[in-house]
Amino acid sequence: MMKGLKLLVFLILFFVFQNVSALEVTPSIDIVIFESNAIKSASVHVRNMEDKEVLAEMSLYGEMENITNFEAQTYLFAPKETKVFNFNILMPESFEKPGDYRFYFLAREIAIDELTEFINVLTASATIYVIRVPYEGPYMAARLRSTSVSVGELVPFDLKMENFGSVPLKNINGKIEIFNSFNKSVGEIPVNEILELGEIKEIIFKWNPEENGFGDYWARATLNFEGRTVEAETEFKLGDIHVSILDYDKNIENGIINKFKLKIKSDWGNEIEGVIAVLEVYHNPFKSFKSETFKLDLWEEKNVVIYVDAENMNPGKYPAKLSLIYEGIHTEEEFELNVSTFDWTIIWIGGSIFVVVFIIGYFVIHKMGARKKNKK
């Protein structure tokens, strides 16, 4: 438990320091295929990115750090200097189960306090070493990602495939199938690939949506290999300059100013500025109410309020229209607005309770004051 907590703290600090480190470490990741009792050579390049000297400590960290011959040590880097660190990975005879086992080659910029000799870590970078213990026979994993785009643009699909098995995969075939929000297939992309032993392959495919309009879509990659199948899915949007009305109030009360609430959603992959919501009620006389002007971020869902003054509106059902106005475009929805009589009972009850509590409190305080005077 404590070991796992230490590793979690290390990873958090590593990713924080990685973005500001004075030291550049390459490669960022190295995958080594396990071989029983084998000796694998490893090499890390560490470069000082600063125009000044940097004191740095090189060390290993992680669950597999004890399978190398590398010893932690401190080095002084000249400005822009690159140092190369070579070491061996000493493979054990076996692992309990297949999978990935990790350790980290860590380069930390440090400063030593002259008084206390305490070491302060300033920044850090690392190479991630993965010892991959293959699954017996053919075995692979896949991941599919996509990006939301505007209508008419090509949709990119990022397909990542990893061979986790003990044999090369010479005949991977399948497809990426695209579906709309009604789960209707609207397109597909064929996939035919090869993965060598331990290979990771990342490929970008592009799909032309053609006549498909704005909305929500999803895709599934189905890959067949050696009589087996692996699948991966992703979701994306095709955007247009359009704002959808998702939900809104259909009831208000007369005699008061109501907060008429509606929920809307941008279907566009960019900001839409100058949006305004309008409620029109076909009452006698005709009434119109507007929200404040606002903007929508890309794909944003937003709750909007229109203040509706129903002071002189009679109870009943009235034809109404809700409109969103933006970029010279209107999104409209007609509905029946129910105007009901405002229930003053709650206010009367609340007011009565307040008066009673006030009177009781007054007499209690007055009585306590009288007792104090009598004691004197």
Q: Which pLDDT score is estimated for 339?
A: 94
Confirm whether pTM is higher than 0.75: no
Whole-angstrom Cα distance, residue 39 to residue 36?
A: 9
Q: Of 239, 266, 294, which residue is a domain's last?
A: 239
What pLDDT was estimated at residue 283?
82
CA distance 77 to 86: 17
Do residues 103 and 61 make contact, with C-beta atoms less than 8 angstroms apart?
A: yes
27 upstream amide cis, omega within 30 of 0: yes
Q: Which residue has the tokens 């010893």?
A: 71
The total domain count for the chain is: 3
Q: Where are the alpha helices (DSSP H) in the chain?
A: 2-18, 345-375
Considering the domain boundaries, does residue 365 fall inside one? Answer: no
How would you label 54-93 residue by residue, b for 16+ Cβ within 10 Å and e otherwise? Answer: bebbbbbbbebbebbebeeeeeebeeeeebebebebebee
Asked whether residue 361 is assigned to any structural domain, the reply reads no
Residue where a domain terminates, one of 239, 259, 288: 239
Range of the domain at 126: 2-133
The CATH number of residue 149's host domain is 2.60.40.10
Q: Say if 227 falls within a structural domain.
A: yes
CA distance 365 to 25: 76
Both 324 and 278 in a single domain? Answer: yes
Same domain, yes or no: 195 and 286: no
Report if residue 375 sits inside a domain.
no
Query: Do residues 36 and 115 both lie within one domain?
Result: yes
Q: Is residue 308 part of a domain?
A: yes
**What is the per-residue pLDDT for 123?**
87
Residue 23 burial (CB count, 10 A):
25
Verify that 248 and 196 share a domain, yes or no. Answer: no
pLDDT by residue, tens only, the chain of 376 residues: 444 544 444 444 444 444 457 899 999 999 999 999 999 999 999 999 999 999 999 999 987 878 999 999 999 999 999 999 999 999 999 999 999 999 999 999 998 766 666 778 788 899 999 999 999 999 999 999 999 998 889 999 999 999 999 999 999 999 999 999 999 999 999 999 999 998 999 999 999 999 899 899 999 999 999 999 999 999 999 988 999 999 999 999 999 999 999 999 999 988 999 999 999 999 878 899 999 999 999 999 999 999 999 988 999 999 999 999 999 899 999 999 999 987 655 555 555 565 556 666 656 566 665 555 555 5
CA distances from 284 to 26, 44, 252, 310, 314 (A): 75, 81, 16, 12, 9
In a domain, 368, yes or no: no
Q: Are residues 26 and 101 in the same domain?
A: yes
Q: Shortest CA distance to 306 belongs to which of 294, 316, 292?
A: 292
Instruction: Name beta bridge partners: 237.
Output: 216
Q: Are residues 15 and 123 in the same domain?
A: yes
C-alpha 366/C-alpha 132 separation (Å) is 83
Which pLDDT does position 257 carry in this prediction? 94
Boundary (domain end) residue, out of 113, 133, 153? 133
25 plus 120 within the same structural domain: yes
Q: Do 145 and 120 sit in the same domain of this protein?
A: no
For residues 114 and 8, membership in a common domain is answered with: yes
33: in domain: yes
What's residue 240's pLDDT?
87
Say if 180 falls within a structural domain. Answer: yes
Strand-pair category, 119-133 with 29-33: parallel
Tell me, yes or no, whether 75 and 93 share the same domain.
yes
Are residues 154 and 233 part of one domain?
yes
197 and 169 part of one domain: yes
Q: How many CB atoms lie under 10 A from the CB of residue 48?
A: 23
